[in-house]
């Protein structure tokens, strides 16, 4: 029974969609999530949504690489100098995570704020009471 579960996990990981397809799906999800944006603003922000989708998928891939290889790597500098350092994936991940947060903040600021419907102005109250 354990073998059946193991093979299912292996099949699921090998069926992973290509990066371009994952980015496209993320873009569509993001676009749907930002549907309350005004059409002109949405059209203007589409390139930013593409960048956000790319960064999100790339961050997922970097997380996977860091989990597999660890956050540090060994290096050799010269004949007798060895050591460990932060892996290049960690540096890229940190920079991209900050950029992704900035892009998402910019996109979210383009969404109109919802009006507080709990506040009824005095005129509306007067009209509703009649």
Considering only residues 80 and 42, tell me which one the structure prediction assigns the higher pLDDT. 42
The model's confidence at residue 2, banded by pLDDT at 50, 70 and 90, is very low
From 23, 42, 41, 22, select the one nearest 31 (Cα to Cα): 42
Flag whether pLDDT at 47 surpasses 50.
Answer: yes
The model's confidence at residue 3, banded by pLDDT at 50, 70 and 90, is very low
Query: Hey, what are 42's tokens?
Result: 């949405």
Q: CB–CB of 75/48 below 8 Å?
A: no
Handedness of CA 39, 43, 48, 49 (dihedral sign): positive
- Please report, for the chain, how many H helices and E strands are present, in that order: 5, 2
**Phi/psi of residue 82, nearest 5 degrees:** -120, 160
pLDDT score of 24: 97
Query: Hey, what are 13's tokens?
Result: 């990981």
Contacts of residue 95, Cβ cutoff 8 Å, sequence gap at least 6: none
The model's confidence at residue 116, banded by pLDDT at 50, 70 and 90, is low
């Amino acid at each position: 029974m354990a073998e059946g579960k193991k093979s299912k996990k292996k099949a699921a990981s090998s069926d992973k969609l290509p990066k371009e397809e994952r980015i496209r799906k993320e873009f569509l999800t993001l676009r749907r999530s930002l549907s309350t944006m005004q059409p002109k603003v949405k059209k203007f922000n589409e390139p930013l949504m593409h960048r956000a989708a790319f960064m999100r998928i790339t961050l997922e891939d970097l997380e996977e690489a860091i989990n597999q290889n660890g956050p540090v790597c060994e290096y050799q500098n010269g004949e007798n100098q060895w050591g460990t350092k932060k892996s290049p994936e960690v540096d890229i991940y940190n920079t991209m995570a900050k950029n992704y947060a900035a892009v998402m903040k910019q996109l979210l600021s383009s969404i109109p704020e919802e009006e507080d419907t709990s506040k009824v102005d005095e005129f509306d109250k007067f009209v509703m009471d009649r």
